[in-house]
Amino acid sequence: MTELLQKKAYLENEAVQAFTQQLASWMDGEPFGEHHFFIRDKILPENYDRNFHATTLTEAFDRFYWNGKYYPEHQQIQDKLRLRLQTALGSLHDSLVDTIDDILLWASGGKVIKLYTLNRDWARNHASDLAVKLQESLNIFRSDTPDCSKFDGELRMNAGFTKIYALAEPSLVAYDGRTGAAMGYLTRQFCEKQRTLLDPNLCFPWAPGASTMNRNPSTELLHFKQLANRSRFHAEWKIRASWVLNAASDLARSEWCKGMVGLRRVEAALFMIGYDIPLAKQASKPGRNLLSN
């Protein structure tokens, strides 16, 4: 999509409205389907069941465990990093660079991987105007009519920086390949339930992980694109996902998904769902267009 995003028009789109209502129902405990996979992580507690099973978002959230820590421990880390980031954005660039470095290291699971080193080097190379660039990015993300064209070169967006923006702005989801895979999977469940084809406004992109787990939610009839290191494309879908998840949270009745804390919980549930996406069943009949009633 090349036209500028508009929050009002996006959320009023018929397919987006229907999906938002379904998301709200899932947040309220309606089962989204049987989701099974085997967790291959090396670092897991002795009593943690590697046979993951969830039928609801709350079940997926309750199973959250990543990089040697359960959700409450990660929440404490996020809260500390968020406070540091808020302070650093208004202070000398040396403090901001150090804070960004620590956030990127946390987001990478403490692994000195290529994504971490490339982002770290970019932040250090732009130390003198890093605060300006981050604030400009946040202003775009906060806008109801965001122009993401500057993410084509000037501004930064990828699986590492999405966590920085989410810490700086509570209404933003940390949209990485795993979150995108989960959003695509839930869209797939929605389309199959409604017997509808995939609307372009719900084509949430995904990215493969470093392992052999399936992150591709596509089916024979429903095709989801990859993020493929396209910063503007990534930023636009981060915005769409944030809009629809916040709108669904507002519609939901359950307290667990409400407010800033609630979005982080839903984000954690998506993170777990996106670990491994079930392979699609073979389609037996073509879907119908949502608008052809």
- What mean pLDDT is predicted for residues 171-175? 97
Name the pLDDT band for 129 (thresholds 50, 70, 90): very high
Task: Give 92's pLDDT tier (boundaries 50, 70, 90).
Answer: low
Return mean pLDDT, the chain: 91
Q: How far apart are CA 175 and CA 152, in angstroms?
A: 18
Q: Is 7 exposed, middle or buried (0-12, 13-18, 19+ CB in 10 A)?
A: middle
* Encoded amino acid at 201, one letter: N
Q: Tens digit of pLDDT for each residue in 190-211? A: 999 999 999 999 999 999 987 7
Question: What is the average pLDDT across 25-41?
Answer: 94
Which of residues 69 and 270 earns the better pLDDT score? 270
- Residue 44: how many other CB atoms lie within 10 Å: 13
Using alpha carbons, select from 232, 229, 239, 240 the residue that is nearest to residue 151: 232
Can you tell me the mean pLDDT for 56-67?
A: 95
DSSP letter string, 89-131: HTS-HHHHHHHHHHHHHHHTTT---HHHHHHHHHHHHTGGGHH
Residue predicted with more confidence, 290 or 121: 121
Q: What is the pLDDT of residues 248-275, one digit of tens each?
A: 999 999 999 998 899 999 999 999 999 9
